[in-house]
């Protein structure tokens, strides 16, 4: 049976290609990295942009940061196959540079459409750059791990900002913070369900 959400997500992918979004990035990239995971997920994790391994495989978070992300999910008793993972920007910026504001802006409507299709309970932003799109003027050091209900289109969503898994690769002290924050996710979802 064809999954309607999968069809809608494939249409978003086709629209990115057909509308020639960020042609300079597209020319340099090996793959368009849309997202991966459960289209009925309660949790959507969003990074900033694909890296080298992601670009080569066409999947998000499969490099070193992705391996640590898997570890954190396991520690929180969450299967990777139960969540959906994507990025704001869908093509790898050259030399792993940060995406430019105009690149993030160009891809933003497509991310919004992805979230409209999946309808997660919680959106987890991975890293400061992604968080700023959902929670402008916030400091990640002050709000990480805290659920924030925000207006989003015609509805409201719950955003949980977390540090990027790559931060733990460079800063060992960050590992415990990230694991602790990840361990709160299922409790946050349970609380949301109980408050409905």
Give me the tens of pLDDT residue by residue for the chain, a chain 196 residues long. Answer: 568 999 999 999 999 999 999 999 999 999 999 999 999 999 999 999 999 999 999 999 999 999 999 999 999 999 999 999 999 999 999 988 999 999 999 999 999 999 999 999 999 999 998 999 899 999 999 999 999 999 987 888 999 999 999 988 888 888 899 999 999 998 999 898 887 6
Contact by Cβ (8 Å): 111, 21: no
Structural domain harbouring 62: 4-194
pLDDT for position 121: 92
Integer Cα distance of 146 and 153 in angstroms: 21
Question: 3-state class of 140 per DSSP?
Answer: helix
**Conformation bin of residue 131: beta by default, left when phi > 0, alpha when psi is -120 to 50:** alpha
Beta carbons within 10 angstroms of residue 58's beta carbon = 15
- CB-based contacts of 120: which residues, under 8 Å, 6+ apart? 41, 42, 43, 44, 84, 157
User: What letter does residue 93 receive in the DSSP assignment?
Assistant: P
pLDDT for position 39: 96
Sign of CA dihedral 97, 103, 109, 113: negative
pLDDT for position 1: 56
pLDDT for position 2: 65
Pairing outcome for strands 84-87 and 148-152 = unpaired
Q: Dihedrals φ, ψ of 6, to 5°?
A: -60, -40
pLDDT for position 116: 95
Q: For position 182, which CATH number holds?
A: 3.40.470.10
pTM of the prediction?
Answer: 0.95
Domain total in the chain: 1
């Amino acid at each position: 049976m064809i999954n309607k959400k999968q069809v809608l997500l494939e249409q978003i992918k086709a629209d990115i290609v057909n509308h020639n979004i960020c042609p300079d990035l597209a020319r340099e990239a090996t793959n368009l990295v849309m997202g991966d995971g459960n289209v009925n997920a309660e949790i959507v994790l969003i990074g900033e942009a694909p890296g080298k391994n992601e670009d080569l495989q066409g999947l998000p978070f499969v490099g070193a940061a992705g391996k640590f992300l898997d570890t954190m999910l396991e520690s929180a008793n969450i299967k990777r196959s139960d969540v959906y993972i994507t990025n704001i920007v869908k093509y790898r910026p050259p030399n792993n540079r940060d995406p430019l504001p105009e690149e993030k802006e160009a891809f933003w409507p497509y991310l919004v459409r992805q979230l409209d299709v999946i309808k997660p309970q919680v959106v987890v932003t991975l890293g400061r750059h992604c968080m700023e799109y959902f929670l402008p003027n916030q400091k990640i050091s002050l709000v990480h791990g805290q659920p924030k209900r925000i207006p989003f289109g015609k509805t409201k969503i719950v955003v949980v900002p977390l540090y990027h898994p790559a931060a733990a690769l460079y800063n060992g002290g960050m590992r415990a913070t990230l694991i602790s924050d990840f361990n709160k996710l299922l409790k946050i979802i349970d609380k949301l369900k109980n408050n409905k």
